[in-house]
């Protein structure tokens, strides 16, 4: 979450958002830790919050895309905006 410049005081908030996606069965926690890092900076640069980003990836995953493909596609989209 360094890409978002969040302090340690935001850890619980971030973890809660991640846990909700895992709880919904949309993502596995390992997906979040391994796949999301490649898109954080591009998302932040265009004003997408981490919660919005998690929801986007969750939606795409629910539609059948892997986290790797979702984050790659979103990173490409965000960098071209």
Output the pLDDT for position 25. 67
Q: How deeply is 31 buried, as exposed, middle or buried, from its count of CB atoms within 10 A (0-12, 13-18, 19+)?
A: buried
pLDDT at 7: 75
pLDDT digit string (tens) for the chain, length 81 residues? 566 777 777 788 888 888 888 887 677 888 777 778 889 999 999 999 988 998 898 889 889 888 889 999 999 999 998
């Amino acid at each position: 979450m360094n890409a978002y410049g969040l302090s340690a005081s935001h850890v619980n908030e971030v973890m809660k958002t991640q846990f909700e996606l895992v709880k919904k069965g949309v993502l596995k926690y390992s997906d979040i830790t391994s796949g999301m890092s490649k898109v954080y900076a591009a998302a932040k640069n265009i004003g997408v919050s981490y919660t919005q980003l998690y929801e986007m990836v969750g939606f795409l995953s629910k539609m059948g895309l892997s986290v790797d493909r979702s984050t790659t596609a979103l990173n490409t989209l965000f960098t071209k905006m």
